[in-house]
Amino acid sequence: MLDERTLVAWSFPNIPWRLNDRHSKHRNGALASVTAPHSRTFWCTAVKADLVEWRCKGQDGKTEWWNSGGATSLALRRYVGEQEERWSMWLSGVSNDAAGGEVERVGLLTSADGEDWVRHHGDKVFGSVMDCNTEDWWWFDVAGVRVYNVTKLKSDLVLDDDSVHFMYYAGADRTRRRQIGLAISKDGIYWSRIEGEHHSGALWEYDSTNPIVVIDENGGYRMFFLRDETARSAISSNGVSWVEDAGHCNGLPFPISTFAIHQESPRYMFLCQPQTSRQVQVFLAGDNEMWSKHCDVQTEVDWQQISIIPMGGNNFRIYGVGSDRQVHVVAVCV
Confidence of residue 63 (pLDDT cuts 50, 70, 90): low
Q: What are the distances in angstroms from CA 146 to CA 17, 95, 106, 218, 316?
A: 29, 13, 7, 29, 23
pLDDT at 81 over 60: yes
What is the pLDDT at residue 208? 97
| Contacts of residue 253, Cβ cutoff 8 Å, sequence gap at least 6 | 271, 273, 281
Cα dihedral 309/154/180/185 (nearest 10): 80
Calpha distance 303→22 (Å, rounded): 26
**Hey, what amino acid is at 63?**
T
What average pLDDT does this structure show over 121-125?
92
Is the pTM higher than 0.85?
no
Please spell the DSSP secondary structure of 298-319, one letter per residue: E-S--EEEEEEEE-STTEEEEE
CATH code of the domain covering residue 165: 2.115.10
pLDDT in tens, 259-296: 999 988 899 999 999 999 999 999 999 987 799 999 99
What is the pLDDT at residue 289? 78
Instruction: Tell me how long the chain is.
Output: 334
Average pLDDT score, the chain = 81
Calpha distance 17→258 (Å, rounded): 24
Is the bond preceding residue 255 a cis peptide, omega within 30 degrees? yes
Whether residue 320 is contained in a domain is answered as no
pLDDT in tens, 128-145: 999 999 888 899 999 999
pLDDT in tens, 147-170: 999 999 876 655 555 679 999 999
Contact criterion met (CB below 8 Å) for 224 and 232 = yes
- Count: domains in the chain: 1
pLDDT at 35 over 50: no
Q: Residue 58 sits in which domain range?
A: 3-276+283-298
